Amino acid sequence: MKKRLGFLDKYLTLWIFLAMLIGVGIGYFIPSSSGFINSFSSGTTNIPLAIGLILMMYPPLTKIDFSKVPLMFEKPKLLGISFIITWIVGPFLMFLLATFFLKDYPEYMTGLIIIGIAPCIAMVIVWNELAEGNRELTAGLIGLNSLFQVLFFSFYAYFYLEVMLPLFGIKGLELDITVAEIAKTVGIYLGIPFALAVASRYFIKKYIGDKWFNQKFIPFVSPITLIALLFTIVVMFSLKGEMIVDLPFDVVRIAIPLVIFFTIMFFLMFFVAKKIGANYRDAVALSFTASGNNFELAIAVSIGVFGINSGQAFAGVVGPLVEVPALIILVNVAFWLKKKFYK
């Protein structure tokens, strides 16, 4: 029997649209709302929003079983192509798409580049389950990707924004960001929830048990990600009430390169995996891990470095809006590929 998407996940695109509309409505009809929101700021950090972003990152990280990571080294070929395509090809492909489609919109362009260097560690579990991929392999890949993000995201972001953009002739953006600044943001919005997730997973399993952790705790904390994401979107869009006419067109501008990215990464990984002898379940696990992105991290870093009202943060929010329908289509494509190439 085929697995089905849960109610909240199935209509995620709708929830995001509604949150956008509510936010824009608040900003448009209650102009004083921006002053109220900014009154909770300390320096460039909005305190309630920062707490919300940390909460948004926590539930997906609690689901990662790091005991599966060593299993990856039993399949060195799969580990090798996963690393090359996810961490080298993927970020560079998104960089090319961002600079091609959004060169005239520098904030959206840099926001898309940030998305490209954050491989998925949450929704990939859902897509893999729906497409009947290898659950253990997915768990191992997610564990590795989350560790890589903690260790290397700051350097990747600095490299692509401060080194690659000028190298490709895109100058004058005056981003003026440092590795330390990005590392501080990653430390807050990924490091804190990462440490809390690892600790809670270890202590709950040790003192209360696996069954309670999996059947009670995980279902209890899981909706927090969606609630925090929608809260972030409402706040962000309440500051954009005056942009009510431009927003739909900007969503489309950002969506086009994202859809191209999802599609290329999925097919590239699938056929490379097949070429080296991977079975269907492994090929699908690799493909969805490569094609999805960690939008929660991209949003958190964009807000932390560039601010809640930045185009970079807006680009991050458009990500999950586009990802859900696009990857649902790719789940069906996966089954078609299975019939065609794995008879």
Residues 111-149: tens digit of each pLDDT: 999 999 988 776 787 788 888 888 788 878 888 888 888
Residues 20-69: tens digit of each pLDDT: 888 888 888 888 887 887 787 776 677 888 888 888 888 888 887 877 77
* Residue whose C-alpha is closest to residue 19's, from 227, 234, 224: 234
Secondary structure of residue 42 in the 3-state scheme = strand
Tell me, rounded to whole angstroms, the distance of Cα 85 from its chain centroid: 17
* The domain over range 7-341 is classified in CATH as 2.60.40.1080: no
pTM score, two decimals?
A: 0.83
Eight-state DSSP code of residue 41: E
Q: Which amino acid makes up residue 340?
A: K
CA distances from 234 to 18, 27, 42, 238 (A): 9, 9, 20, 6
Confidence of residue 279 (pLDDT cuts 50, 70, 90): very high
The residues spanned by each domain of the chain are 7-341
- Both tokens assigned to 47: 């305190």
Mean of the per-residue pLDDT values of the chain: 85
User: What is the residue-wise DSSP string for 191-235?
Assistant: IHHHHHHHHHHHHHHHHT-HHHIIIIIHHHHHHHHHHHHHHHHHH
* Residue whose C-alpha is closest to residue 186's, from 15, 53, 59, 47: 53
> How high is the pLDDT of residue 283?
94
C-alpha–C-alpha distance, residues 70 and 2, integer Å:
29
Q: What is the mean pLDDT of residues 74-87?
A: 90
Confidence of residue 242 (pLDDT cuts 50, 70, 90): low
